[in-house]
Amino acid sequence: MIRFDNVGLRYGSGPEILRDVTFHVLPGSFHFLTGASGAGKSSLLRLLFMSLRPSRGLIFVFGENVADLPPPGRTALRRRIGIVFQDFRLLDHLTTWENVALPLRVMGKKESDYAEDVTDLLRWVGLGERIHAYPEILSGGEKQRAAIARAVITRPELLLADEPTGNVDPAIGSRLLRLFVELNRLGTSVILATHDYSLMEQLEAPRLMLDKGQLKVSAT
């Protein structure tokens, strides 16, 4: 599903943020991505989402060499990926329900086909009473849960989550982890970036560990 071959990344003329990164992600797998703050986790996720180009090396997504793809091709691949950003990226003029339903609307689905699913998911993540609220009145934790619901509503083939439990209490964090595990059980590959070791201890899954720009893979 994903393959990185000796990938390097630098911003401008600065030092390499990522160096000689090589790994692969199999369909239906679950990985934690971890490392100290500033280790390059967000940059690696942006490479996976194809919103950044590597300075060197090769990246294959769903079997396609990203370097060979024209913009429409990258857009088509991104539609198969769900992503949870650290800054949420909710649209201020849409309600919580409308933000979560937006990917389905963009896909051309009828509201009658997904309305119940969106409502049920929002209730599951604890936002049942915030369905009609706009982002400006949501707390950071509520925005985080809405962003997660939006990322998983389409049941993507690959889910990328950047510190998805960073703004919620441990109980909600564990609940959200169960959501990711259930999505993975249904076939979605998951890469969850976190520095929360207590969260990682709740699930036996391979860890992609970034340290000084280099990546190591550990079984747990």
Find the mean pLDDT for residues 146-161: 93
pLDDT of residue 212: 87
- Mind listing the domains of the chain with CATH numbers? 2-90+156-218 (3.40.50.300)
Q: What is the DSSP string of the chain?
A: -EEEEEEEEESTTS-EEEEEEEEEE-TT-EEEEEESTTSSHHHHHHHHTTSS--SEEEEEETTEEGGG--HHHHHHHHTTEEEE-TT----TTS-HHHHHHHHHHHTT--HHHHHHHHHHHHHHTT-TT-TT--GGGS-HHHHHHHHHHHHHTT--SEEEEESTTTTS-HHHHHHHHHHHHHHHHTT-EEEEE---HHHHTTS---EEEEETTEEEEE--
Q: Which amino acid is at 199?
A: L
Percent of the chain with pLDDT over 70: 100
Read off the pLDDT of residues 77-115 as tens digits, 9 standing for 90 and up.
999 999 988 888 899 999 999 999 999 999 899 999 999
Q: How confident is the model at residue 168 (pLDDT cuts 50, 70, 90)?
A: confident
State how far the Cα of 20 lies from the Cα of 213, in Å rounded to an integer.
8
Residue count (the chain): 220
Q: How confident is the model at residue 7 (pLDDT cuts 50, 70, 90)?
A: very high
Confidence check: pLDDT of 37 > 90: no
Find the mean pLDDT for residues 115-143: 93
pLDDT of residue 164: 87
pLDDT of residue 220: 64
- Rounded to the nearest integer, the mean pLDDT of the chain is 92
Read off the pLDDT of residues 192-202 as tens digits, 9 standing for 90 and up.
999 888 889 99
